[in-house]
Structure 1
Amino acid sequence: MMKPLSAKTAAELDASLMSTLGYTLEQLMELAGLSVAQSIYKEYNPINYPNATIICGPGNNGGDGLVAARHLKLFGYEKINVIYPIKGKNPFYDKLITQLKMFNIEVNDKLNNEILNNSNLIIDSMFGFSFHPPLRDPFDSILSTIIKSKNENNDRKIIAVDIPSGWDVDDGPIKDSITENYMPDMLISLTAPKPCSLKISPITNHYLGGRFISKNIADKWGFEVPNYKGVDQCIKLN
């Protein structure tokens, strides 16, 4: 198991990437979203899982989901829906929405039963490592709907980006909350696993994405860079 990266360290590393290390937010989001899409393709190919719905939050985790939606369409998934209840304030997100429309990807502000019932994959890109519980409206009701849908149809797969939304980034599911019974089929950690990844089920598929850190930078920040294969942007951890 790779050493997890705390929320505090992850935030500090993000800030460093976009200052002293020269990356822009747009670059990091594109690379993260690409790695999310590739991870999904490796585990749930578009032949067996042709229809995907991505639920995006208003922050950077949601931006990763917007990028991933475009790449999934390019990878051959038949129908992609994006649920974007609260739009992010960064103007870059508007550009990502424009790109999705070019690929005829529907962007809605509500998750309805028709979209849900026609989805083989539900991608939780609502909140990442900077989230502080509890979940609030409308995301609490969306997560409840997703969990109920999973209970009714076990063939429908839930994929969480970086952390399962609503989980405490360090401690995982929160007792006596919606998240107590929330366990994704797949977790895609970005840059490095977060402490809550230790709480996932043994049968949850765990991937790592975000191939933009050099070994010397990883050593400085106290985490590992895995041996990615060839041109892959992700690697399966378990």
Structure 2
Amino acid sequence: MALKAAAALDVELMSTGAFSIDQLMELAGLSVSQAVYRVHPPSAGRRILVACGPGNNGGDGLVAARHLSQYGYEPTVYYPKHNKNELYQRLSKQLEDLNVPFVNDFSKALADTDHVVDAVFGFSFSGEIREPFPAVIKALEETEIPVTSVDAPSSWSIEGGPPMSGVGSNFHPAVLVSLTAPKPLVKHFKGRHFIGGRFVAPSIAAKYDFEVPRYEGVDQVVEVMPGGKALVR
């Protein structure tokens, strides 16, 4: 799904689909939290570092951190550029009420975690990566700690995948959670791939020419193979 179509789909969900932005963010963050639980259960280590950018991708990360806390994990949030929008302020307050710590030193937090959620930049990101995020993405490139990226590995383009050189060119997370529907960048991704879009009406999926996978039970994510078909469990 190209950038223009993906952006149009988001608009469609909030118009004819009748979803609000906070509903979609809640569903996205819930999907991410379930994917993390699937690939990194609490028995593998409860410390989760959630790196959040200032936009919607970061909001998804804030929601995921709240759910992870409720699951029994010990999330820590790196959120250096707080969005002043009321929605993001409320998401931050919900984490504060759960005593989820916000940290300023990403490198130090990375050295003291078991798993990372990359919610820095989403599929619509373009332009120059500004401070403090170049160092964050470089650290994600170099760490041996598994990383789960939200909708797009940070710094990747929706069509071309990782940049040819510079920041993010060697960033290959272990897990990707595609929200609503996979983006073209997935053809460059080699890790475990989940789709979280159990809210898309069949009529909207048909309009945008993608297939909603079969979700099992109460799952909000489904793992798919590189070709896009759901894995049989």
Common topology (TM > 0.5): yes
1:146 to 140, 143, 146: 140
Q: What corresponds to 2:90 in structure 1?
A: 95
Q: What corresponds to 1:184 in structure 2?
A: 173
SS at match of 2:6: helix
Q: What corresponds to 1:60 in structure 2?
A: 56
Computed over aligned residues only, the root mean square deviation of the Cα atoms, in angstroms, reads: 1.1
Give the conservation status (yes or no) of the 8 Å contact 2:141–2:168: no
Give the conservation status (yes or no) of the 8 Å contact 1:134–1:166: no
Q: What corresponds to 1:50 in structure 2?
A: 46
Report the TM-score when normalising by structure 1.
0.91
What are the equivalent positions in structure 2 for 1:140-219 lying under 5 Å apart? 140-148=134-142, 150=143, 154=144, 156-201=145-190, 204-219=191-206
Q: What corresponds to 2:113 in structure 1?
A: 119
Residues 132-189 of structure 1: CA distance to partner in whole angstroms, max 9, x if unpaired?
14322111111112222x1xxx3x2111100000011110011121211110000110
Percent of paired sites with the same residue: 42
**C-alpha distance in 1 between matches for 2:70 and 2:20:** 24
Give the conservation status (yes or no) of the 8 Å contact 2:28–2:196: yes
Q: Alpha-carbon deviation of 1:87?
A: 1.3
Q: How many residues were matched structurally?
A: 225
**C-alpha distance in 1 between matches for 2:187 and 2:154:** 15
Report the TM-score when normalising by structure 2.
0.93
Comparing both chains, which one has the higher relative contact order based on Cα–Cα distances under 8 Å and sequence gaps of 6 or more? 1
**C-alpha distance in 1 between matches for 2:121 and 2:45:** 24
Amino acid of the structure 1 residue aligned with 2:95: L
SS at match of 2:43: coil
**C-alpha distance in 2 between matches for 1:93 and 1:110:** 21
Confirm whether residue 39 of structure 1 aligns to residue 26 of structure 2.
Answer: no
**C-alpha distance in 1 between matches for 2:147 and 2:4:** 27
**C-alpha distance in 2 between matches for 1:196 and 1:49:** 30
Confirm whether residue 137 of structure 1 aligns to residue 131 of structure 2.
Answer: yes
Amino acid of the structure 1 residue aligned with 2:112: N
**C-alpha distance in 2 between matches for 1:144 and 1:182:** 8
Q: What corresponds to 2:224 in structure 1?
A: 237
Q: What corresponds to 1:107 in structure 2?
A: 102
Q: Alpha-carbon deviation of 1:76?
A: 1.5
Displaced runs of 4+ in structure 1, greater than 6 A? none
Q: What corresponds to 2:209 in structure 1?
A: 222
Give the conservation status (yes or no) of the 8 Å contact 1:168–1:196: yes
Amino acid of the structure 1 residue aligned with 2:154: S
Amino acid of the structure 1 residue aligned with 2:218: V
Confirm whether residue 18 of structure 1 aligns to residue 5 of structure 2.
Answer: no
Q: Alpha-carbon deviation of 1:112?
A: 3.7
Give the conservation status (yes or no) of the 8 Å contact 2:50–2:78: yes
**C-alpha distance in 2 between matches for 1:105 and 1:116:** 16
